[in-house]
Amino acid sequence: MRTEVGGRGVVGKLQGEKPGKTIAFRADFDALPIQDQKNVDYKSTVDGAMHACGHDIHTASLLGAAKVLSQHKDKISGSIIFIHQFAEEQIPGGAISMIEDGCLDGVDEIYGAHVWTSIPLGTIGIIGDYAMAAGDQFDIEIIGKGGHGAKPHVTVDSIYIASQVLNQLHQIVGRQVDPLKTGVITVGKINGGQAFNIIAENTKMSGTVRTFDAEVRDTIEEKIKQVTTAVCEGLGGTANISYTRGYPALYNHPEPLEKVDDLAQNVVGKPHVKYLLPSPGMEDFAYYVKEVPGAFFFIGGANEEINAVYPNHHPKFDVDERCMLNAAKMFISLALQEKQGADDER
């Protein structure tokens, strides 16, 4: 086992007793800066931090699979690499530094899973081709000329300019992106002004861009810069624009995904394999599958009976912990390339 891989990652290796491929599994373990609002005895004990995306489920599932597989080395062909990754939730993410530190050296295939409360316990979700979006961040500072709220004609109102920039940004996808492709621009934060009767000299806004197509990604970045600059100059202001590329789109390779599909039908039963639409969320597992073939799949964790119905990143996020059995079975099946029978309970 190696610790501090790429900074804070942990990588374990299990050598089988038969020759064969090297297969890697990845789990992430970071929490989110959210106050846990669940009324359960296992809620977070750390103020302002909770596992609101199920990464604790991912880690526990992979550890469980590793424990089982270590007891059956005679059935393993090749070797299994267990990647426990930090900082999936924070750009630039932990995947890049772990890859640079050699976590994929000699790896032939890689697989990852994510618990999902949009599908119920006992199901496994599969998305072909591009499964999750590329995610970028932009930060814009609009600079005007401050002054008295009663005399706007001698000022340059940065808040007003920001409102016009916001409107124009939202037309980029609808009017400058191929309608057969897709993208999302969301402004999530605007800060400007100090008092009700003062025209703000500076206003800041930040947002995110989600795309699946590399050309669309380039187009939206270019148009955000062009539109913002043009609007600001036309209204007498200026803009400082910072655009940060986040994770690339996550591509599921056909052959590994076919294995996932085939084995999932045995783990949960064919009627319980759900073929999902691509998610506009982002995942730095995308970096691994840019290096080696692999696939990322989704484990159903929703259960209305225990109020496990809230989406990922919600302060009441919870899952039915029995989903860990299905995640572990999938990893074990992929490791052994054998079909594990479905449970009646799922």
Q: How far is CA 166 from CA 79, 161, 163, 169, 343, in A?
A: 52, 9, 5, 5, 51
The partner residues of 275 in beta bridges, in order of sequence, read 126
- Beta-carbon contacts of 344 under 8 Å, excluding residues fewer than 6 positions away, are none
The torsion region of residue 205 among left (phi > 0), alpha (psi -120 to 50) and beta comes to: beta
Which pLDDT value is given to residue 344? Answer: 46
3-state per-residue secondary structure call for 211-280? ECCHHHHHHHHHHHHHHHHHHHHHCCCEEEEEEEECCCCEEECHHHHHHHHHHHHHHCCHHHEEECCCEC
Task: Give the 3-state secondary structure of residue 28.
Answer: strand
In whole angstroms, give the CA distance from residue 245 to residue 41: 39
SS3 breakdown of the chain: % helix, strand, coil, rounded to 5? 30, 35, 35
Task: Give the 3-state secondary structure of residue 97.
Answer: helix
The one catalytic residue in 30, 136, 141, 284 is 30
In whole angstroms, give the CA distance from residue 243 to residue 238: 16
Torsions phi, psi for 188 (to 5 deg): -100, -10
- Averages of pLDDT over runs of 10 residues in the chain (346 residues) are 97 95 97 96 95 97 97 95 96 96 98 97 97 97 97 97 98 94 95 97 97 97 98 98 97 98 97 97 97 98 96 96 98 82 49
Instruction: Judge whether 233 counts as a catalytic residue.
Output: no
Torsions phi, psi for 197 (to 5 deg): -115, 20
In whole angstroms, give the CA distance from residue 92 to residue 246: 6
Q: What token pair was written down for 158?
A: 């940065």
The partner residues of 152 in beta bridges, in order of sequence, read none
The residue with tokens 């100090």 is: 194
Whether the upstream peptide bond of residue 92 has omega within 30° of 0, thus cis, is yes
Pairing, β 250-252 against β 294-302: unpaired
Nearest CA among 57, 70, 92, 86 for reference residue 12: 70
In whole angstroms, give the CA distance from residue 259 to residue 83: 20
The one catalytic residue in 28, 36, 56, 88 is 88
Angle between helices 323-336 and 254-267 (to 10 degrees): 130
Q: Under a CB-based contact definition with an 8 Å cutoff, are residues 46 and 52 in contact?
A: no
- Beta-carbon contacts of 245 under 8 Å, excluding residues fewer than 6 positions away, are 134, 136
pTM listed for this prediction = 0.90
Which pLDDT value is given to residue 337? Answer: 81
Which pLDDT value is given to residue 144? Answer: 97
Torsions phi, psi for 287 (to 5 deg): -70, -35
The residue with tokens 């206003």 is: 203
Burial 31-41 (b: 16+ CB within 10 A, else e): bbebebebeee
Instruction: Judge whether 88 counts as a catalytic residue.
Output: yes
Handedness of CA 258, 263, 269, 273 (dihedral sign): negative
